[in-house]
């Protein structure tokens, strides 16, 4: 079974703090994704990576950056957290070829106060 883990289930940070969200997958998947999920807005793609050190902007990259130094690990960074970044953050991974399904982690509920 594919396993995607995220470093925290719940996180509370203050406005202006730098926040790191970590994601690790154990299936040797090439592609990794960061989404945020908000009521009424569904899943929105922030960034994705199709290889180590490669990254592509998604639909809402503003205020976020990412890092992928190792194949299994993909980090989301909030450089200066703001209250409008309070959300559920979901990491996902998918294989490079064949099928296109994505496998999700449990999510991190981030609250910025």
Partner 1 sequence: QKEVEQDPGPLSVPEGAIVSLNCTYSNSAFQYFMWYRQYSRKGPELLMYTYSSGNKEDGRFTAQVDKSSKYISLFIRDSQPSDSATYLCAMDSGAGSYQLTFGKGTKLSVIP
- The token pair at 102 is 């994505």
94 interacts with partner 1 by CB under 8 A: yes
CB 11 within 8 A of CB 113: no
100 interacts with partner 1 by CB under 8 A: yes
- Stretch 2-41 residues interacting with partner 1 (CB under 8 A): 4, 31, 33, 40-41
68 interacts with partner 1 by CB under 8 A: no
57 interacts with partner 1 by CB under 8 A: no
* Alpha-carbon span 86 to 109, nearest angstrom: 8
109 interacts with partner 1 by CB under 8 A: yes
* Alpha-carbon span 21 to 33, nearest angstrom: 12
85 interacts with partner 1 by CB under 8 A: no
42 interacts with partner 1 by CB under 8 A: yes
Nearest to 94 by CA among 34, 12, 38: 34
The residue count for binding partner 1 (CB under 8 A) is: 25
Three-state secondary-structure class, residue 75: strand
- The token pair at 52 is 């180590």
Binding stretches for partner 1 (CB under 8 A): 4, 31, 33, 40-43, 45, 48, 50, 58, 88, 90, 94, 96, 99-107, 109
């Amino acid at each position: 079974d594919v396993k995607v883990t995220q470093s925290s289930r719940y996180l509370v940070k203050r406005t202006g703090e730098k926040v790191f969200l970590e994601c690790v997958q154990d299936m040797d998947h090439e592609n990794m994704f960061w989404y945020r999920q908000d009521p009424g807005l569904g899943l929105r793609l922030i960034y994705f990576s199709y290889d180590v050190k490669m990254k592509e902007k998604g639909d809402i990259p503003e205020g976020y950056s990412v890092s992928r130094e190792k194949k299994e690990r993909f980090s989301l960074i909030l450089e200066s957290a703001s209250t409008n970044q309070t959300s559920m953050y979901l990491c996902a991974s998918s294989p490079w070829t064949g099928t296109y399904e994505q496998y999700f982690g449990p999510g991190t509920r981030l609250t910025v106060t």
